[in-house]
Amino acid sequence: MRTYQERMDRITLHVAEEAWKTPRLASGLWHHNDIRNNFYEAVYLLAASVDYRLAVSFPREEGAALARAILANVLSLQDQEEGSPTIGHWPLHLGDNPARAAKNPLPAELMSCLMAVVCERYASELGTELAASFEQSLAILYRSGFYLQPQRTFSHHETKYTAAKILFGDRYGDEGLLASGRSDLRLTLERLRAEGMAEYGALPWFWHWVQSLTSAYVCISDADIKGELADLLELLWHYRAQHYLKGAWIGGRMRSLPVDLPRDRNVAFDYVQFGDFELPLPLSRVEFAGLLHYEASESTRQYALRTEPEEIRYSIQPATGGQPLHGRIYRTAYAATGGITERASEFDNEQHRWELTLPLTDAEGANRLYLFSPGEGYTEGDPRHESDAGDLLFHGHAVLGLYGPPVSSNRLVGVLPKGEWRFEGGRAYGELRQLYVALFMPGEFATQELSDYIALDSPGQDGMNGFVMEAIAKSDAAERGIHSIADFAAFIDERRPNWTGLHNGTDGLSVSYLTFGGDELKLSVQPDSSVTRTVRSD
């Protein structure tokens, strides 16, 4: 296995080479979709150009000159007008005319922290004029006070404000600001330890936590604050390790972008920290993964690589308040199953409640299986955004779901990873790497093979629907004489679940199922919406 520095070098070299080959637009930038992409890639190009350990294919001086030109162009788009309501900010999406694009607070949040790292590490490589521009830009960010926000929801935004307070307080000798940042840091530590990660599994925003706090850690001079930053970073990386399976995130999430569902692609930080999977190319959302790293403790890194079966249970206090959410995940070396029991209306309706997760491999395509009832924001071809319908039961590698009144329609859509599948009526039997998978539904469903997964669509009947999914390790199946998907289908077909109430629902809905291991599961939803979950173990 490569060292973390070798893994960082590989990312740096790859991004720098891609940046060198990217044609510049008329504006002088590479990208107009997000100004930050120009900043990230230019720093990579500069870093590779001046690092003689890296075997670049382009002329070093020309690479460094191009990087400086892009960085100067980015800095020139900052609002530096005193008295402007957007002073310190950049446009985010640049459109056809970057100079006139509307300013947005998002670039300053993360770029300010990363710019401090650039000044710390590459000041002598920037050249006199560009170095002065960086210093001026950072000074304007400091004076703008964009970060002067209290801790309310303990979000990635507020974490970046905390990091900025610490960085600017230390950099400019502002003891009051430094103390405020330290206070916020302690509040964040207390909140996470007591109530869990309000932004549970939120990607790519989790990496904004990591980058902003790591920026403060590498730049800060106060040893005590540095130690507290290390405590929070260690907590974050332990949280990541808990929800890690060979490059994949496991369990439910508060938010996810299409780059993260139904396949993990935002994996550069995991690759550097854990290194137990091949780096997939091309990379998505690399940000500073190859340039900025905090090495987690050996115990945390080994925890991420565990292979023994484990059941993970936890509760989370949502950022918006209300009742706690309860997470439950069963993880083995080959897969993880589970998520969040309760439905919550999170930001942009992006809550992702549950999944069967497979480790990340070189093969393209989805590495997770899940179903949901489409809700606000859902569009065909984007398997996110679910409705408020549905109750779930998690047990081992099995998940039961019921969807009934009061909604008038309970269509279910889903994602099946590529593999060998057999579809028979309302049943699906699959062979996925080291697993066999069974999926049962009370009615017919349609499937469509897409480029990276098989899409499932079930209309439901009379406003009601449901599913039972169970995954079984091939090694366990072999002990019962099951050596093929045909053997598995014949065995598991005899364990079809029992559905009641699906055609009238007046007495409630229920589904019962006997698992591969002999456990009796039952999920019931009464007319008053009360839910009963029953597990009887063999």
Residue 407, pLDDT above cutoff 80: no
Looking at residue 163, what is its pLDDT? 98
Domain count of the chain? 2
Residue 99, pLDDT above cutoff 80: yes
> Cβ(45)–Cβ(73) under 8 Å?
no
Mean pLDDT of the chain: 95
What domain range is 13 assigned to? 4-238
Residue 507, pLDDT above cutoff 80: no
| Domain end marker among 209, 238, 267 | 238
> Cβ(491)–Cβ(422) under 8 Å?
no
pTM: 0.96
* 268 within domain boundaries: no
Looking at residue 364, what is its pLDDT? 86
Looking at residue 462, what is its pLDDT? 79
Q: How confident is the model at residue 119 (pLDDT cuts 50, 70, 90)?
A: very high
HEC profile of 29-63? CCCCCCHHHHHHHHHHHHHHHHCCCCCCCCCHHHH
> Cβ(346)–Cβ(334) under 8 Å?
no
Looking at residue 505, what is its pLDDT? 58
* 261 within domain boundaries: no
Looking at residue 419, what is its pLDDT? 95
Q: How confident is the model at residue 212 (pLDDT cuts 50, 70, 90)?
A: very high
Q: How confident is the model at residue 508 (pLDDT cuts 50, 70, 90)?
A: confident
**Could you report the per-residue pLDDT of 105-118, keeping only the tens digit for each?**
999 999 999 999 99
**Could you report the per-residue pLDDT of 251-260, keeping only the tens digit for each?**
999 999 999 9
List the alpha helices (DSSP H) in 398-534: 474-478, 485-492
* 499 within domain boundaries: yes
Residue 502, pLDDT above cutoff 80: no
Report the pLDDT averaged over residues 176-197.
96
The interaxial angle of helices 60-76 and 106-126, nearest 10 deg, is: 140
* 396 within domain boundaries: yes
| Domain end marker among 238, 273, 296 | 238
What burial letters (b/e) apply to 308-332, b meaning 16+ CB within 10 Å?
A: eeeeeebebbbbeeeeebebbbbbb
Looking at residue 506, what is its pLDDT? 66
Torsion of CA 209, 155, 91, 376, to 10 degrees: 120
Q: Which of 295, 201, 207 is nearest to 251 (CA)?
A: 201
* 450 within domain boundaries: yes
| Domain end marker among 238, 255, 281 | 238
Residue 536, pLDDT above cutoff 90: yes
**Could you report the per-residue pLDDT of 468-495, keeping only the tens digit for each?**
999 999 999 999 999 999 999 999 999 9
Looking at residue 209, what is its pLDDT? 98
> Cβ(525)–Cβ(463) under 8 Å?
no
From the number of C-beta atoms within 10 Å of its C-beta (0-12, 13-18, 19+), residue 281 rates as exposed
Domain containing residue 78: CATH number: 1.50.10
Looking at residue 503, what is its pLDDT? 66
Other beta carbons less than 10 A from residue 129's beta carbon = 9
Residue 1, pLDDT above cutoff 80: no
Looking at residue 42, what is its pLDDT? 98
Residue 355, pLDDT above cutoff 90: yes
Looking at residue 239, what is its pLDDT? 98
Looking at residue 319, what is its pLDDT? 77
Report the pLDDT averaged over residues 183-202.
95
* 337 within domain boundaries: no
* 414 within domain boundaries: yes
* 164 within domain boundaries: yes
